[in-house]
């Protein structure tokens, strides 16, 4: 579970509720019609912008916002170093015996190509093509939430305009001006909250997760090609550590020296 996401959601609720009750009433911010215009209009515009198959992926994308990746770059580097040492001792065909212990399908596929004797250029091109296609799929999910982040405030403004039109029709009754204006502005409030508290943060989180996953897989490719070329494991290890941030390199050094840094929380850094 990603603790930062949970804290952000809870803190957002606290801030909004505090702002509502600080001189106001909850009932003033609850209006079914305004919410229907904002939410329904934003979803309708998003449906027009994307294909139905892309919309269905929303249910698959949301868990990635709350779930932290279990893959540790520290463990990946150590595993690649161990495989490099094994390949130098027993040959590349010896890597085939450890396939069942590899959980990452991307790394497993790359090693299968190495064992099959495929040329390094072909391996790199093939695995890079898979990465590019993965980036395209991730990009569609990110673009979907960015589109909703743009549509919800726009439809909130449309709802406000509808409310103002109704307000102008009742100017002869001054007692209705305040409540009608309040209801007109609630749609803008809904649109701003949905965009800036939900959609934009989700899009940013998904983009960061995508970049982190791609970076980790690029590190895997470098390691696999180094194994195929018979490069010294220590040189390969040094090459792979360049994918880590300075703090992560220090933590990795502690890990290999026998100390226990928090390797499970580490991600590929910049």
Query: Do 144 and 91 share a domain, yes or no?
Result: no
**pLDDT by residue, tens only, the chain of 270 residues:** 678 888 999 999 999 999 888 877 888 888 888 899 999 999 999 999 999 888 888 877 788 788 766 667 899 999 999 999 999 998 888 888 877 778 889 999 999 999 999 999 999 999 999 999 999 999 999 999 999 999 999 999 999 998 888 888 877 777 777 777 877 889 999 999 999 999 999 999 999 999 999 999 999 999 999 999 999 999 999 999 999 988 888 888 888 887 555 544 456 665
Chain centre to alpha carbon of residue 251: 24
Query: Do 58 and 22 share a domain, yes or no?
Result: yes
Give the pLDDT of residue 262: 53
Give the pLDDT of residue 255: 84
Q: What is the pLDDT of residues 10-58, one digit of tens each?
A: 999 999 999 888 877 888 888 888 899 999 999 999 999 999 888 888 8
Query: Do 47 and 175 share a domain, yes or no?
Result: yes
Give the pLDDT of residue 264: 46
Query: Do 257 and 141 share a domain, yes or no?
Result: no
Query: Do 146 and 209 share a domain, yes or no?
Result: yes
Report d(CA 268, CA 270) in Å as an integer: 7
Query: Do 253 and 181 share a domain, yes or no?
Result: no
Contact indicator for 209, 189 with CB cutoff of 8 Å? no
Closest among 196, 189, 195, 199 to 29, alpha carbons compared: 189
* Residue 247 lies in domain: 73-126+238-265
This model's pTM is above 0.75: yes
Burial of 110 (0-12, 13-18, 19+ CB in 10 A): buried
Q: What percent of the chain has pLDDT over 90?
A: 53
3-state secondary structure at position 14: helix
Query: Do 208 and 259 share a domain, yes or no?
Result: no
């Amino acid at each position: 579970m990603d603790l930062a996401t949970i804290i952000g959601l809870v803190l957002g609720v606290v801030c909004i509720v505090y702002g509502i009750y600080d001189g106001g009433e909850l009932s003033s911010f609850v209006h079914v019609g305004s919410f229907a215009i904002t939410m329904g209009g934003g979803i309708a515009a998003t449906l027009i912008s994307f294909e139905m198959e892309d919309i269905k992926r929303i249910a698959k994308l949301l868990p990635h916002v709350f779930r932290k990746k279990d893959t540790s770059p520290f463990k990946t580097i150590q595993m690649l170093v161990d495989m490099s040492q094994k390949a130098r001792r027993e040959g590349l065909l010896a890597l085939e015996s450890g396939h069942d212990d590899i959980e990452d399908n991307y790394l497993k596929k790359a090693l299968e190509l190495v064992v099959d004797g495929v040329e390094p250029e072909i391996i790199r091109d093939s695995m890079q093509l898979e990465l590019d296609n993965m980036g395209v799929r991730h990009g569609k999910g990110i673009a979907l939430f960015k589109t909703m982040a743009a549509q919800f405030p726009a439809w909130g403004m449309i709802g406000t305009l509808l409310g103002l039109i109704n307000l102008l029709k009742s100017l002869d009754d001054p007692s209705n001006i305040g409540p009608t204006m309040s209801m007109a502005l609630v749609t803008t409030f809904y649109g701003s909250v949905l965009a800036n508290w939900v959609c934009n943060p989700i899009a940013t989180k998904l983009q960061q997760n995508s970049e982190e996953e791609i970076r980790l897989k690029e590190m895997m490719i470098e390691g696999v090609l180094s194994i195929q070329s018979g490069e010294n494991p220590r040189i390969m290890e040094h090459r792979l550590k360049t994918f880590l941030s300075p703090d992560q390199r220090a933590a990795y050094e502690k890990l290999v020296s026998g100390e226990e840094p928090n390797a499970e929380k580490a991600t590929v850094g910049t």
